[in-house]
Structure 1
């Protein structure tokens, strides 16, 4: 009797998006109509009209990319209950889990421990799991925290006691521990100069499915004379070390401030669907093309794919990768440590394809919305910088479309993501136009009596309705939609602007981009902080806040001049559109307006206000000069 064909473990379901398509096409035609109107009336208007036309041309281009990316959305429905009906537990594939951290001060060890514990506790056979923690800071504090976490995982004692011990070690010192055998390797550590450290903290020697997964600490070698690639280099080291020790066919990488909140995530995502987990910010439309983009964390990968092979390709490592494959998952990890040390050295990759054709490719700072604050904006700056570096590199989607098997629409989808980094210039110019027109006595919008004003009004209403529809469909509130709309504006003229400038300086050979570790927040007590302050925008003395503060002050000055009738030659009614736009910009930057009067970390520092005020008055002086 023939063996019955097993039911599929997942199903790819096209999503109905008729309403969204209609909304997006409507906005597209309104954008084209606005461009046509501006082009036809360009001779009768001045510089502001031309600048608005150029900015709106960019917005139209971005909307075309957006339209193509979202046109065929799909979702994946998984059937985990069918898995064990078709396969035995011992037939499930092994998974290597990667957790990355770099600085115990910016990324407190208790956060890393929480991430590791959540991964060790997933609903999956323990003998099929291995967790590798990469510590780029080679910190004995991080290693101590993982040792304590391993004891906790064995006993599952009171969590508060575990947290207390780790936080006490963070505040005080663990120098007394350095004399023990476990900490000998950390005794002469210097920042940026230390040997490879690999420690097997937990080992499931008996291969018990109800035991604990392997837990391995990895700190790659660093030397002052050898340039160290940032997180991408750490990921490549983890890939090689795990290949030498456990060599699971699937890999999961997780940032140290993430955690698995679904214990069945491995069965649902990795085994059933066999596709990378999409980041929430990624659209399902990209999954309907050649698959979703790699979003930096929380993603499953096939090891073969990271090695540059097709999923059904043969594991031919010799020469090309410099690592001989391991056919089975070994259970005596201690015997593999010496080999792992060799491939974690800082000079190992020279003469190999690692970082160029194999593994995570080098050349950018990005890997991988938000309330706001310095840490969030630094992260956004790093993303914008990295995306632009990809755009101007040999791995640009346009180039890969011709040199590899990237489809044209998938190329457009990647361009839609990468274009975030190019957004700040047209966005900043367009945001400054209303204030400039008010103070210069010019205009960039059609007059109220002009029929063309209906195009602008329809476009504004349609776009915001479409955005609200998307957030509502995703289960978000109107307030969440408004907060994200504001943050897109704020991020564009702060983090993304500095990311753009960083890449320009790099292209000119004047500077190198730097990987910046963002500070991870933690609450040491359950009652720390207040609900009133939860999610509030925070500030510091960083220059990253100067452009947005300057823009806000410029618009406040413009509104004051309009209300007082200063520089008024043509009447306020002829610039009512610009005044409404200026009020809208002030509303979008309301966190900065509150920051002008806030205190402590919720207030903009006086030094930032002074710099911004000077730039705002300079803008006013230039406007008056042009007006004359």
Structure 2
């Protein structure tokens, strides 16, 4: 993106930049007019850095079996951001103000010369934007709000364009640090938007009817989990960096509630650790004949029911089906304890200087179809030998053993009468049963064949981890 920004800034210096992923297409031909109404508004021109259009997809599978359409996320969560300092930048479908990308602070808007913050000398400008005199001239004009005025034939700028597009051009410059798209995370879009908000700018949602852009989404669960892993790792990396939103609030111009929203987002990877512990807790209680829930479950039950009614009503108001809502809830458990957990591990290894994260490109290929035009495996879970399926398979095994132990314990309780007591209650059993329902695709995968079956190597590894967990439970009983 920085290369494209430099080349376009050199050749045109247009005041606005449209950022689109390669799989997106324009669905509303008047979207540029809608975005400019936001960016050129008398108030927006001084405060709004970018206009973000929500994502929607044209190839969504029926009932969204993999939970990757993100419909309610954009409508409610991202809409909530829009009521604060502004919508986050999601990496595509966005109209940017060029001088903001060039590092301009919101406080500099009232200054006639937008270069405030950089020294007036050419040397300082070259240290920021690079050694191309033509590009430094172009950037100066953009920051000052002047129209692009080439001094000679535009064709003569081609050589300069080749120079600024080279990989080594940004060495020893501020590109990726203070100007352009910010480097240092596989979620560079969120990092760039966070940097813009920290500089005091706002952003706006631009959601016309019909929707502005449409694109394609992952067509199987493997690609979905890899995408979620990349997002979680990049977000968690930002949380542990100098770009932490709390620091942005204390030392920058990031608003407090906007900072809290960013913290919630950046904690996706970290959230996987307590969720795995919570998933293991009911099974642990059943295996150790103990309890972590009170006998009167009405408070906890009311919270669980209230949460599900709330999310269900959001889905129904959005026009989604009950099946879609359940698939979303199910995939949240699977994604958190697999994709997000591995994203957390990736950054943990990075901080320990053991390995560096890599950017895994999301494959968005159209699913193959049979002769009658119907894909027989559409919406079905696929598996491979990737370790990303190991936590989910292990959690399923642990819950199945816990439920089996529960049935055996109840049989013993009935056989022995009051002389045999159960330390756990109905709450722990319902928690384990709920997790088995969430991991139903993995239960089916145990009996599937080909790509729809869990590989034997994954089953063996998960079985060993399950035995270790059961052994740990027995040790705690002895202690």
Asked if TM exceeds 0.5, the reply is yes
- 1:276 is matched with 52
Q: Residue 434 in 1 paired to residue 278 in 2? A: no
- 1:324 is matched with 137
Report the Cα distance in structure 1 between the residues aligned to 2:176 and 2:29, rounded to whole angstroms. Answer: 33
Q: Residue 294 in 1 paired to residue 89 in 2? A: yes
Q: Secondary structure at the match of 1:353?
A: coil
Verify the 8 A CA contact 2:182 2:188 in the aligned structure 1. no
Q: Which deviations, in whole Å up to 9, do the C-alpha atoms of 1:174-208 show, x marking residues without a partner?
A: xxxxxxxxxxxxxxxxxxxxxxxxxxxxxxxxxxx
- 2:363 is matched with 519
Q: Which runs of 5+ in 1 are unaligned?
A: 1-234
Q: Which deviations, in whole Å up to 9, do the C-alpha atoms of 1:71-128 show, x marking residues without a partner?
A: xxxxxxxxxxxxxxxxxxxxxxxxxxxxxxxxxxxxxxxxxxxxxxxxxxxxxxxxxx
Verify the 8 A CA contact 2:370 2:376 in the aligned structure 1. no
Q: Which deviations, in whole Å up to 9, do the C-alpha atoms of 1:542-601 show, x marking residues without a partner?
A: 000000000001111111111123896854594221111111000011111111112222
- 2:180 is matched with 359
Report the Cα distance in structure 2 between the residues aligned to 1:310 and 1:520, rounded to whole angstroms. Answer: 37
Report the Cα distance in structure 2 between the residues aligned to 1:524 and 1:557, rounded to whole angstroms. Answer: 38
- 1:267 is matched with 33
User: How many residues in Structure 1 have an aligned counterpart in Structure 2?
Assistant: 389
**Please, what is the CA RMSD of the aligned residues?**
2.5
Q: Give me the TM-score of the superposition, normalised by structure 2.
A: 0.76
Q: State which of 215, 225, 230 in structure 2 corresponds to 1:382.
A: 230
- 1:250 is matched with 16
Q: Secondary structure at the match of 1:251?
A: strand
- 2:102 is matched with 307
Verify the 8 A CA contact 2:219 2:365 in the aligned structure 1. no
- 1:471 is matched with 315
Report the Cα distance in structure 1 between the residues aligned to 2:361 and 2:149, rounded to whole angstroms. Answer: 34
Verify the 8 A CA contact 2:283 2:398 in the aligned structure 1. yes
Deviation at 1:493, TM superposition (A): 0.7
- 2:169 is matched with 348
Report the Cα distance in structure 2 between the residues aligned to 1:272 and 1:409, rounded to whole angstroms. Answer: 26
Deviation at 1:402, TM superposition (A): 1.8
Deviation at 1:336, TM superposition (A): 2.8
Within-5 A mapping of 1:535-546: 535-546=379-390
Verify the 8 A CA contact 2:18 2:94 in the aligned structure 1. yes
Report the Cα distance in structure 1 between the residues aligned to 2:289 and 2:429, rounded to whole angstroms. Answer: 12
Q: 1:567 to 1:624 in 2, by over 3 A?
A: farther
Q: Which deviations, in whole Å up to 9, do the C-alpha atoms of 1:42-87 show, x marking residues without a partner?
A: xxxxxxxxxxxxxxxxxxxxxxxxxxxxxxxxxxxxxxxxxxxxxx
Report the Cα distance in structure 2 between the residues aligned to 1:567 and 1:244, rounded to whole angstroms. Answer: 78
Within-5 A mapping of 1:211-222: none
- 1:33 is matched with none
Q: Secondary structure at the match of 1:301?
A: strand
Q: Which deviations, in whole Å up to 9, do the C-alpha atoms of 1:434-482 show, x marking residues without a partner?
A: 11111111111112xx3xx211111110111111112122222111111
Q: 1:609 to 1:504 in 2, by over 3 A?
A: same
Q: Secondary structure at the match of 1:456?
A: helix
Q: Give me the TM-score of the superposition, normalised by structure 1.
A: 0.58
Report the Cα distance in structure 1 between the residues aligned to 2:257 and 2:218, rounded to whole angstroms. Answer: 29
Q: 1:499 to 1:250 in 2, by over 3 A?
A: same
Q: 1:559 to 1:456 in 2, by over 3 A?
A: same
- Larger CA deviation: 483-492 vs 272-281: 272-281
Verify the 8 A CA contact 2:221 2:382 in the aligned structure 1. yes
Verify the 8 A CA contact 2:218 2:364 in the aligned structure 1. no
